[in-house]
Amino acid sequence: MFLHADLDAFYASVEQRDHPSLRGRPVIVGGGVVLAASYEARDRGVKTAMGSRQARRLCPDAAFVEPRMSAYSAASKAVFEIFADTTPMVEGLSIDEAFLDVSGLARVSGRPDEIAERLRGRVRDEVGLAITVGIARTKFLAKVASAVGKPDGLLVVPLGGEDEFLHPLPVERLWGVGPVTAKKLRNNGIFTVGEIAAIPENALVATLGKASGHHLFALAHNRDPRPIVVGRRRGSIGSQRALGRSDPSLGEIEVMLSGLVDRIGRRLRRANRVGRTVVVRFRYGDFSRATRSHTLTEATADTALILDTTRVLLRASADVIDEKHLTLIGVSVAQLTNADAVQLSLPLGQRNRPSVHETLDEIAEKFPGVNIGRASGLSGSSQMAVPLLPD
């Protein structure tokens, strides 16, 4: 049996945990764009990726807080330690959710529902957060169960009762059914998972296309043979920043990029990872998106090299940014591999830039309250940053 464990309204819940005055109140994490919303805010119609202006209209009494990624990372680490203490078969999906395989633990740990209840209690008592767990014989159905069981719930899909649970659900519960596919299905009179299951597979393929048709037909019949994949390392490391209603200049956006790249570089070096492909993502006021990327000749965790690449990609998009209102910018480094597996290129002595950033990483770890940034990031106001990084 599989468990799908998913923290409830993760970012917002961490804020409510750490700030008692926010408990029971609608909380929205993010500035110009909603990154997360508490259930009190969701009940008013606030959703992730919604603009802050619309969120304020829907929930004028909400508390808006800036994201604190270090706090969320620490909470995630503590929760994943509980996962690992529950079973060695853990597959992380994101910072706040994972699959756990508890098959074969009956003699040691009890039934899957007993294991899940203990896990939920430990997360609540040791980390101070609510978590929902879905239990089923396939990963797909366990994830659906946790979504149906939210918030702060435990939902078991019994063996033999899969169709009874799954088939009455709306088609949107299936992985891969977004607004476009859902509209196409509804236009064909298909509203529930059971109605998909009743359609011949070739008819579904004719309606949705080969890949999507086969995929949804299999899920509607709860066919998901995937096992837990333990130890899978993420393929990219990134960070993003919402801009909201501000209209920054290209120079100001470059400063924001510097901060994002500094953060990514530290995370790469801390994980002993290097990457080859640098990606810059843009989101505009009309909700359109754009992506630019460049693949380096060698994998790197060198902050300066990654920053130089992002600047080139940003300037290549300058005309579009001038025409549209930029609401979010993100950077990621992909095609990751272990740093130890990368062969150094000649000349081997040119290692001075990475060592500077490694030293700054050590300072940041030892003195977390010290804000060391780039001189270009100083606005001329009463900032206390120590400008040590060359631009």
Q: Which residues are catalytic?
A: 97
- The answer to whether residues 339 and 274 touch, using CB atoms and an 8 Å cutoff, is yes
The type of residue at 163 is D
| Owner of token pair 């508490």 | 38
The strand pair at 154-156 and 273-284 is best described as unpaired
Q: In whole angstroms, what separates CA 293 from the centre of its chain?
A: 20
DSSP 53-119: HHHHHH-TTPEEE---HHHHHHHHHHHHHHHHHH-S-EEEEETTEEEEE-TT-HHHH--HHHHHHHH
- Residue 192's φ and ψ, nearest 5 degrees, are -120, 165
Strand ranges for the chain from DSSP E: 2-7, 27-29, 36-37, 63-65, 90-94, 97-101, 131-136, 154-156, 236-242, 273-284, 289-300, 326-334, 337-338, 372-374, 386-389
Cβ atoms of 34 and 52 closer than 8 Å: yes
Side-chain-side CA neighbours of 190 within 13 Å: the count stands at: 26
Q: How far apart are CA 29 and CA 22, in angstroms?
A: 12
Tell me which residue has tokens 């059914």. 177
Distance of CA 359 to the CA centre of its chain: 29
Which string of b and e fits 90-102 if b means at least 16 CB within 10 Å?
A: bbbeebbbbbbbb
